[in-house]
Amino acid sequence: MVQYKPRHLASSFAALAMGVGLLGSSGISGRALAADKTVISVAYGETYVFDTEDLTKKWWNGVKAEFEAKFPDATLQLVPIGGGYDDITNKLSLLYRSSRTAPDVAQIATPVIGQFSSSGYLLPLDSYLADEAWWKQFPKVIQGEGVFQGKTYAVNTGENDSQLYYNMDLFKKAGLPVPWTPHNWNDILNAARTIKAKLPHIIPVWLNAGSSSGDNGILQGAGNLLAGSTVPTIYDKKTQKWVVDSPGLREVLDFYHSVYSEGMGANLSDLFSPSAVTIPLTLIAQGKVAITFGSNYYGGNWTKLICSPCWADATKVAGVVPIPTVDGHSPDIATTVGGWDFAVSASTKSPHYAWELVKLMESDINQINAANWAGFVPANQLIVKEPAFVDFAPPYNAVSAQVLPYGVISPASGDYLVWSHGLQEATGALAQHPNTTVDAAIGVMSDYVSNQLDSSAVETLK
């Protein structure tokens, strides 16, 4: 039988005491280390938002140095968040659950600002914005992306929109006109059909499909088409229901049906890859795809600075035009808009410094650098005309700036992501099974969204 030995107990207590000591010592906060200065924290995406981690460090270290030089009695604590789009939102959600960990300022993805503001996490910024000249340069549609229940909770720090990229060499080989200006979706399909007939080894159209890229696939794919359809409604504000069947959705899915049933789309491995949205950057540069529904950041990515991939001849080969509307109806420009915003925590103890930080980050030079290094279109309509932005990736940046004011922003509700997933499944079904009909694809979407949100939460628009 085991006998009690006093030293065992003593050593156990000693170990316990050491453990408690270690636990205690790990709880030293950054704020306590700089007790003599006001500490402001800012949380941001470390690996996802900017094109490279070096550029992330360069921009944020620059902001920190500039802020601390301007306000010697304050310290800026950087809170980088690794991972992708969902990881940043998830981490911010957890940080904001406690006022102790909530960052004073945060970089938040546009589609989730509404959810953060409705949680009571964000400070209304209207009184601060009232006198800011730069804010007046933002298009109304972008000013509105941070407005909920009449108050502005966030200011944009860079947008992404979409265009059509086309390979001019392939167009010339196929006998298509260069420069190319499609006026409606039939023009796109007809050009793709010509490519398929004349250059059978070339992928005629890259059009994101399926759910592997999440809502990014919609923002850089079907969402643009829906924005240019005859009925672009996603959420019916009158009835407070999600639209799962409408003439607009049918036009979009019919376009998908044409592309994939006629064998004009990319292969499934690429389309359903987790990195699907960035694959066309390489395919275009390799001359493997003729027409691409792509994002504004393509031009910047091909530059020597970003080099993802490097493509010195991009401007000679890759043309860019706005995506037209379905039938050419005014303004004959269709694009989604989604980006990143700065918001201030409702629980910040230093709203003055928090706002000063936002202002500093919204300066011309910081916004131009953010746009060029992260692949954004600046919201400020004076900055988009600056040579430092336009000439960084010509002619792509100019076209992305041109289409920005016509952009359509996704609904801010959390349920939008369910609706988006439903559309992703519908487009995925059309891409994977080319004999899927538009009715069947509508059924896939309708079933999914009804099942997730309840059949009383969805509707059909005629």
Partner 1 sequence: MRPENGERRGWWKSSAAADGEQQLDAVGILLLLPATLLLVVMFIGPVGFAFYLGVTNIALVGPTAQHFHFTGLKNLHRLVNDRLFWESLKLTAIFLGASAVVGVTIIGMALAVLMQHAVTWLRTVVGAIVVVAWMLPPITAALLWYAFSTTGGTLSLLSGSDSDILNDFPMTIVCLANIWSTAGFSMLVLSSGLRTVPAEVLEAGKMEGASRWQVFRSLTLPIMRPTIVTNVLLVTLLSLANFSLIYIMTAGGPGNATNILPIYSYQQAFQFNKLAYGALLGDVVVIIATVFAYLYVRVSRPSRAGYRPQGKLA
Please report, as ranges, the residues that interact with partner 1 according to CB under 8 A.
Answer: 1-4, 8-9, 12, 16, 86, 89-90, 92-93, 96-97, 112, 115-116, 118-121, 210-212, 214, 267-270, 272-274, 414-415, 417-418, 421, 425, 428-429, 432, 444, 447-448, 451-452
Shortest Cβ distance from residue 45 to partner 1 (Å)?
16
Shortest Cβ distance from residue 413 to partner 1 (Å)?
9
The answer to whether the bond into 124 is cis (omega within 30° of 0) is no
Which C-beta is closer to partner 1: that of 4 or that of 24? Answer: 4
**Contact criterion met (CB below 8 Å) for 360 and 366:** yes
293 beta partners:
164
How far is 303 from 313, CA to CA, in rounded Å? 10
For 267, counting Cβ atoms within 10 Å of its Cβ (0-12 exposed, 13-18 middle, 19+ buried), the class is exposed
Count of CB atoms within 10 A of residue 126's CB? 11
List, in order, residues 6 or more apart from 213 with CB less than 8 Å away: 220, 274, 275, 276, 277
Shortest Cβ distance from residue 105 to partner 1 (Å)?
17
Rg (CA), the chain: 25
Shortest Cβ distance from residue 67 to partner 1 (Å)?
27
How far is 342 from 44, CA to CA, in rounded Å? 9
Determine the length of the chain.
462
**Chain position carrying tokens 């600075």:** 305
How far is 293 from 308, CA to CA, in rounded Å? 18
Which C-beta is closer to partner 1: that of 85 or that of 180? Answer: 85
The answer to whether the bond into 309 is cis (omega within 30° of 0) is yes
Which C-beta is closer to partner 1: that of 120 or that of 387? Answer: 120
Which C-beta is closer to partner 1: that of 26 or that of 330? Answer: 26
Which C-beta is closer to partner 1: that of 8 or that of 136? Answer: 8
How far is 204 from 17, CA to CA, in rounded Å? 69
Shortest Cβ distance from residue 72 to partner 1 (Å)?
35
Shortest Cβ distance from residue 115 to partner 1 (Å)?
4
- Give the containing element (helix H, strand E) for 55: helix 53-70
Which C-beta is closer to partner 1: that of 266 or that of 314? Answer: 266
In this structure, the strands spanning 151-152 and 147-148 are antiparallel
Shortest Cβ distance from residue 100 to partner 1 (Å)?
14
Shortest Cβ distance from residue 149 to partner 1 (Å)?
11
The candidate with the shortest Cα–Cα distance to 159, out of 417, 394, 397, is: 397
Which C-beta is closer to partner 1: that of 245 or that of 425? Answer: 425
Shortest Cβ distance from residue 92 to partner 1 (Å)?
8
107 beta partners:
342
Shortest Cβ distance from residue 4 to partner 1 (Å)?
4
Which C-beta is closer to partner 1: that of 109 or that of 290? Answer: 109
Which C-beta is closer to partner 1: that of 77 or that of 273? Answer: 273
289 beta partners:
203
**Contact criterion met (CB below 8 Å) for 40 and 104:** yes
How far is 287 from 417, CA to CA, in rounded Å? 34
Which C-beta is closer to partner 1: that of 214 or that of 395? Answer: 214
**Chain position carrying tokens 């359809």:** 229
Which C-beta is closer to partner 1: that of 447 or that of 459? Answer: 447
Shortest Cβ distance from residue 261 to partner 1 (Å)?
17
How far is 231 from 251, CA to CA, in rounded Å? 9
List, in order, residues 6 or more apart from 153 with CB less than 8 Å away: 113, 116, 117, 122, 123, 124, 125, 146, 147, 343
